[in-house]
Amino acid sequence: MPDHTSAHLLDKLVKHNRLKSSEWASLIENEADLYDLARKMAQEIALQNFERKIFYRGIIEFTNFCQNDCLYCGLRKSNHDLKRYRLTKDEIIECGKLGYEFGIKTFVLQGGEDLGFSDDKLIEVILDLKSIFDDVQITLSVGERSFYTYQRFFEAGARRYLLRHETADFTHYAKLHPEAQPFWHRITCLYNLKKIGFQTGCGMMIGSPNQTTSSLVQDLCFIQDFKPEMLGMGPFLPHHSTPFKTQPSGSARQTLYILALVRLMAPKILLPATTALKTLLPNGYAEGILSGCNVIMPNISPDWAKPNYELYNGKLVNDLAQSISKIRAELKTINYQLVSAKGDFQG
């Protein structure tokens, strides 16, 4: 049975949607006792808010060029083993058409920080997608940009932006990134996105090298203050051509536990069961949903590009028809279903 005091913290979290640092630490340290209870409560809250419906978003990985050098990521500029590509506007629109045929109503344009893909070009892509598909939402995930650039993206019609904070512990942040990528800049970007009016997503990897309980506590405190509309969180997985190639993967169990805590903290947040979790755990989508997740993000990039967008070892590569039918089958085992809807945050 869970220890009374820590179990009481789960109720407190549901009631107040926030905790003190020491209370978060206690929840993290008592995972063994609270794992089942936290997940059961999280699933219940997700059911109250989203029923048995799971939103699906199509990710278009439109460029794997990146000027940055995050130590964990296979797209980092120092990885010279990677074949780099950049999709044309027409190729991106084709991805959209394919996704739309499968009922996808949110396109997530994701890429490295690629100076070769200009803001003007990305704005043209957003405008074209919005004019071809009048009932879709555009999410961007293209890293750190100026306030002015974010504003231009918003004016072109993008309404959601994913920018994981990666870790809210600045000493940890400095161990995951080179000096040229300071913590304060990423956090400033997140606040700029919110200010402009984007539904904003932050998030972190679970088990990234040098992560401690204290870093996770800082993450959870950051999230409860920042109040993101979306949260992207999956396990860290090593990539063979990065400085972290020999580091162990994050734990699926801890990922599922922290996902559940996030759902308890933010009942309406858009919370994906990530591809990284699915890579680590064969039934990772279903398990994520049983921790309160309500979003899945299939890859709608061209099949030839998928193997080159390798963030970590073993990233899954399926064609879209195959992945959607596998997702449906996995969801059926827990009696959930995909719904074709924009799925905006309803605060």
What is the C-alpha separation between 9 and 4, in angstroms, rounded?
Answer: 9
- Residue 50 or residue 312: which is nearer to ligand SAM going by CB? 312
Burial of residue 70 (CB within 10 Å: 0-12, 13-18, 19+) is: buried
Site for ligand SAM in 299-318 (CB under 6 A): 311-312
- Residue 113 or residue 330: which is nearer to ligand SAM going by CB? 113
- Are 292 and 45 spatial neighbours (Cβ–Cβ below 8 Å)? yes
In whole angstroms, how close is the CB of 60 to ligand SAM at the nearest point? 12
- Residue 10 or residue 126: which is nearer to ligand SAM going by CB? 126
Q: Does 237 bind ligand SAM (CB under 6 A)?
A: yes
What is the C-alpha separation between 150 and 139, in angstroms, rounded?
Answer: 12
For 148-213, where are the E strands, in sequence order? 160-162, 199-202, 205-206
Strand-pair category, 106-111 with 137-141:
parallel
Three-state SS across 291-341?
CCCCEECCECCCCCCHHHCCCCCCCCCCCHHHHHHHHHHHHHCCCCEEECC
In whole angstroms, how close is the CB of 246 to ligand SAM at the nearest point? 13
Residue 84 three-state SS: coil
Between 252-265 and 31-50, two packed helices, what is the crossing angle to 10 degrees?
50
What is the C-alpha separation between 183 and 187, in angstroms, rounded?
Answer: 6
- Are 139 and 162 spatial neighbours (Cβ–Cβ below 8 Å)? yes
In whole angstroms, how close is the CB of 82 to ligand SF4 at the nearest point? 11
Binding mask 118-147 for ligand SAM (x = CB under 6 A): -----------------------x-x----
Q: Does 56 bind ligand SAM (CB under 6 A)?
A: no
- Which of ligand SF4, ligand SAM, none has residue 263 at its interface (CB below 5 to 8 Å by kind)? none
Among all chains, which residue has been given the structure tokens 């899954």?
Answer: 316
- Which of ligand SAM, ligand SF4, none has residue 76 at its interface (CB below 5 to 8 Å by kind)? ligand SF4
In whole angstroms, how close is the CB of 256 to ligand SF4 at the nearest point? 23
Stretch of residues binding ligand SAM (CB under 6 A), selected from 31-39, 47-55, 233-241, 299-307: 233-241
In whole angstroms, how close is the CB of 253 to ligand SAM at the nearest point? 16
Q: Does 222 bind ligand SAM (CB under 6 A)?
A: no
Residue 188 three-state SS: helix
Where on the chain is the footprint of ligand SF4 (CB under 6 A)?
66, 68, 70, 73, 75-76, 112-113, 143
- Residue 300 or residue 311: which is nearer to ligand SAM going by CB? 311
Binding mask 71-110 for ligand SAM (x = CB under 6 A): -xx-x----------------------------------x
Residues lying near ligand SAM in the complex (CB under 6 A) are found at 72-73, 75, 110, 112-113, 141, 143, 163-164, 166, 205, 234, 236-237, 239, 276, 311-312
